[in-house]
Amino acid sequence: MASGKLPNEILKKLLTEIPIIKRDDVLIGAKVGVDTAHVLFDKEICVLSTDPVTGATDNAGAIAVTIAINDIATAGAEPVGLLLTILAPDGTTHEEIEAIQRDATETSNALGVQIIGGHTEITTVVNQTVLSVAAIGKLPPEQWMDIKKIQEGDRIAVSKSLGLEGSAILAADREAMLKGVLTPAELDEAKGYISQLSVMKEGRLGALLSVQYMHDITEGGLLGALYETAQAIKKGVCVNEEALPITPTTQKIATAFSIDPLRLISSGSMLLVIPQEKQKEAERLFEEEGIALTFIGEVCKEGVQIVNEKGAVDVPPPEKDMLYTALRRTEPQRLILATDNPDKAVELRHLLDDLPLRVLTKKEAGIRIDVEEDGRNLEENALLKARAVKDQASDAWVIADDTGLFVQALGGEPGIHAARYAGPGCSYEDNCNKMLREMEGQTDRTAYFATCVALLSPDGSAHIFFGQADGQIRQEPKGTRGFGYDALFVPDGYTETFAEMEEAEKNAISHRQKALVKAKQFLARQ
């Protein structure tokens, strides 16, 4: 199935064909087009909702909290508490979790709603962080909405502008692309939409107006919301296309990504069905609050239609939100590093970071394999590692390297076995100590590092690159930078070891960098 919300027809079928028990104290249960469930508790109605965030990376904590509270606002209820679930992939740092939690907490605090519980977990089941928030609110029974009171001719209005959330996410997550489309002021404007995603005020005003239906315009955009509204109120809706409020910046973003802004996730915009006799009062109240309110159509007998200069056009059932389409079309290809060695990963990422690729370690890509490096040379070992990863990531670029240290006095040892010279499970220090013992009394200290980089393209073709650095082995280690044998190796023409050099200086002459630069140059031409 396609990514995004489950199609309404499938959801409706699931809700009707799989029996759900009915309780007298459940006033509103699971329904298509209804944002909240309502349960009668003594003298108050408990209003509940849950929402995930899967399409955003930046500001995810704030977005998750806001859209969950928005659902409570659609019932005209007062939000009280939140349960926040965070499912993060392997490799997520403490700092990243803290940033999400801080973002969510600061947003909920500002809205006067308490985070009262939840769950946080690092799991191999997801490959990017998923947030899910359950929101709880309360509502006096006398303010409970009754969709049966909605009549043909009642007005349909939306607050603020359409596509706010989708525009904000794309401006944050695809900023580099949009810099060539938007002016700096427009880009700042789009990012700033993130501050407009709450509809708590709209919910309060709707309650004052005694509206009988409100709907937060989320996944599926306005067109999805119109269809869901018709399903919920069991009547038709008809809107005027020319009246739909879309900012020029959102329209430019939609054009850049070739997407329909009417199908773009629009948290921050509330759809309200307002009695026709209260239109003037609604305009006054919203103007006093400084919230734009646009009347776009009315309730009709049946159907979901948009009227333009060509006539009336039927609105089909909701399709996949355009946000996912835009993100998928512009998602950088993955480049998977066939290593979990943190030192290598840092070095490789630093070099490759400016390429239009999403650089991941094999662990971050969800690949958990150990490869026996039993090749006869560096190239065979590099290919063994690359192909093992490629078997589980057929659509990605894969890069693997193998490095050896070849010491003249030791007959070329440790050679391709440099990483495990002192035996299984050995440390860098163990390897260096063994080498120094083996070379004790040797006057010929010449050696060279060699690296082979194997790069596999998405079609599986292999590209091989080599790099070499000649030098001498010191009699004792010196320096604290780098890793492996860096503290023992002095490259020709220098007096410092690799471990004493600044990173930039070492990178300019190192064997690994020479091979990787060749691979990077190849990638840049693709």
In the chain, what are the helix, strand and coil shares in percent, each to the nearest 5? Answer: 40, 25, 35
Query: From the CB of residue 282, how many other CB atoms can be counted at a distance below 10 Å?
Result: 21
List the Cα angle 6/8/10 in 5-degree steps. 70
- Amino acid letter, residue 476: E
- Amino acid letter, residue 184: P
> In the sheet that 270-274 helps form, which strands lie side by side, from edge to edge?
213-216, 270-274, 155-159, 293-300, 236-240, 304-308, 311-314
Q: Which residues are bridge partners to 456 per DSSP?
A: 398, 462
402, 430, 444, 492: which one is catalytic?
402
Alpha-carbon span 63 to 368, nearest angstrom: 32
Alpha-carbon span 305 to 303, nearest angstrom: 6
To the query of whether residue 314 is one of the catalytic residues in this protein, the response is no
List the Cα angle 21/25/30 in 5-degree steps. 50
> Which long-range contacts link 172-175 to residues 24+ away (Cβ below 8 Å)?
172/56, 172/57, 172/58, 172/59, 173/56, 173/57, 173/58, 173/327, 174/257, 174/326, 174/327, 174/330
Alpha-carbon span 198 to 202, nearest angstrom: 9
**Annotated active-site positions, please?**
402
